[in-house]
Amino acid sequence: MSQETDTLEKVLVEDYAVKPPLNFPSAFSTSIDLDEFKGEYSTSSELLNLSPGVNVRDFGGFGQFKTISIRGSSDDQVVVLLDGIRLNNPLSGGVDLSTIPINYVDEFEIIRGGASALAGSDAIGGVINIKTKSFEETFTSSSVTYGSFNTLSVNLSRADKIGEFGYFFSFNYSRSNGDFDFESINGLQLERINNEFDAFSFLTKLGYELNGWKIGFLNEFFYDDKGVPGLGEFQEVNSNQKDLRNLTNIQLKKEGFINENLDFESNVFNRFDKFEFDNPNPLVGIPINTDSKLYSFGANSKLTWYAPKENVATFASELKFDLLQNGDFDDPKRVNLSFFAGDEIYLFNKRLLLNPISRLDIFSTYDDDESSADVTFSPKLGSIFYLTDRVLFKGNIAYSNRIPNFSELFFPEQGFIGGNPELDNEKSFDFDFGISFLHPKVAFELSYFRTQIDDTILFVFINAQRIEPRNVGEVTQQGIESLLILKPFSFFELFAAYTFLDGEIDDTGAQLPGRPENKLDVRGTLKHKHFETFWETKFVGEIPLTPFTGSETTDSRTTHDVGFKGIWKNYFATIEIKNLFDNLNVRDALDFPLPGRTVFFTAGINLRR
């Protein structure tokens, strides 16, 4: 039998309002349990945006491209995992959050701060692990949402366990016209055009236990077809994008492998991505038609040893292949071999936890003309000091990295723009420290973070006629994160998260574009028997639009959402109003307009055995 139940982290997971990530307990993190949002019409980007340190960049509202920033990072400096399997693709690096359906998700786990030691290249800002629902509890659920702009969302899910065999299926379909009104920069009221989308997904999980071995199978399929209108005042009428993703993973696990103090896990995975973009008549430039196919596959294994004297040691390795089929990029390929070692060391009667980990990555990247090899070493040290059972101090220090993606290295040469195969890796040194107070009825956390990124990669003008990715120098990101959760009574809960970010490009002193300096999210919930009321207030400060001093900014904004939910036996119905006071001057990212007031009705059924 494993000794896992003897560790402090297991106790914290069961009892407290703030839960540490199971693979790195000292990290500053947020765990978002989707049971708290059951019956609501929420998206992955909306829920992730509630976390301190997190900022979602929204490029147009319903179904449109959405990226994530953690502690001022770019989206390609955040690793996104689905049940531990990487979703980031090597073409652009980042993950579009609009392609993550909410209905099959059980929990979002957000690790803030440099984490290349945990997740490999790209984790300069942090890691998001999307945990899908389990079949350990039998349930059937179905819901339908309809609302503003002819928005429709349908879900059907089923989970059951029959003897040693378990299964979970989830089907999701969503669509919207997305034709909302917005206010232009010169005060005119316009309508968003070419902003419709259709998307569907299907997730399958199977499991079987045989002689102590757990065999798992996961397949996730997603497809969407959407218009891409672009900037608010200069909308593209004919541009269209299609995304397809299919991820498969086969897992083998055994607790008590060889002996009772060893656990074993192995995964074999494959992911296929297809991206199509077409704009036959752009407002500026020549017609665009691209079709990219990405293949990623590999295997990993992990041994966990519950060693004497309160040590928990982990050893892991992974081999992964990435291939891009796009002749314009010369069909680049990448091979990544990695090795991981970590330890959880408990000292002074479990008052002090030290968590040293390190990772070695070996990369080979090549296309028809160029080849390169990189070796990166990513160490991280975390610590927790338990002043009391309720009060603890945490700190982390880490060195992380990001190797250039295929777009940065091999962007098709077009005279005025092209890739740069001579790029160096981005490298970051970061540390954070803070205090947490943990209690079942109240949790509070306050932390300071600082990140120094060297050899930052940006597409820049190298002369009046050419744009090219270059290593532009150093970026410093520092700030404060605070989190408050109150559960004083069974019928009331309050959540508040505030982030202050001072992110500067060292050479110019300019604030990082696309990142607000101040961000506050508040959510309250009142419950009474069969009824529930919830509200959210969201404040986002001014967002710089360019990486230059004196840059234009968006206006700061405050929006309010409110909802009412009725629950009777296994049935529920919800009405929600988002952007309650119809603020039409809400803009994000590179000055993209977002919807004003929207109304949604949701009804469904949850059957549990």
3-state secondary structure 263-287: EEEEEEEEEEEEEEEEECCCCCCCC
Selected residue with higher pLDDT from 189 and 304: 304
Percent of the chain residues past pLDDT 90, beyond the cut: 65
Flag whether pLDDT at 155 surpasses 60: yes
Q: What is the pLDDT of residue 386?
A: 94
Which residues, at least 6 apart from 45, have a Cβ–Cβ distance to it below 8 Å? 56, 58, 66, 68, 97, 98
Q: What is the mean pLDDT of residues 125-147?
A: 94
Q: Residue 462, Cβ neighbours under 10 Å: how many?
A: 12
Q: What is the mean pLDDT of the chain?
A: 89
Q: What is the pLDDT of residue 23?
A: 64
Over the stretch 206-228, which tens digit does the pLDDT of each residue have? 999 999 999 999 999 999 999 99
User: Which of 13, 8, 7, 5 shows the shortest CA–CA distance to 440?
Assistant: 13
Selected residue with higher pLDDT from 1 and 171: 171
**Worst-scoring range by mean pLDDT, 144-153, 225-234, 476-485?**
225-234
Q: What is the mean pLDDT of residues 364-378?
A: 87
Both tokens of 18, joined, read 């703030």
Q: What is the pLDDT of residue 590?
A: 66
Flag whether pLDDT at 11 surpasses 50: no
Over the stretch 97-116, which tens digit does the pLDDT of each residue have? 999 999 999 999 999 999 99
Q: What is the mean pLDDT of residues 140-166?
A: 95
Q: What is the mean pLDDT of residues 460-477?
A: 83
Q: How far apart are CA 405 and CA 434, in angstroms?
A: 33
The listed range with the strongest mean pLDDT (28-37, 556-565, 591-600) is 556-565
Report field, pTM of the whole predicted structure over 0.75 = yes
**Which domains does the chain possess?**
4-608 (2.40.170.20)
Q: How far apart are CA 48 and CA 30, in angstroms?
A: 9
Selected residue with higher pLDDT from 90 and 588: 90
Place of tokens 């998001």: 128
Q: What is the pLDDT of residue 531?
A: 94
**Worst-scoring range by mean pLDDT, 16-25, 129-138, 395-404?**
16-25
Selected residue with higher pLDDT from 61 and 394: 394
> Which bin fits 209, alpha (ψ -120 to 50), beta or left (φ > 0)?
beta
Could you say which DSSP state residue 44 is in? H
Flag whether pLDDT at 263 surpasses 60: yes
Flag whether pLDDT at 1 surpasses 60: no
Over the stretch 171-195, which tens digit does the pLDDT of each residue have? 999 999 999 988 877 777 888 999 9
Over the stretch 307-356, which tens digit does the pLDDT of each residue have? 887 788 999 999 999 999 998 888 999 999 999 999 999 999 889 999 99
Q: How far apart are CA 524 and CA 493, in angstroms?
A: 6
Q: Residue 608, Cβ neighbours under 10 Å: how many?
A: 10
> 345-381: string of b/e by CB count within 10 Å (b at 16+)?
bbeeeeeebbbebbbbbebebbbeeeeeebebebebb
Flag whether pLDDT at 2 surpasses 60: no
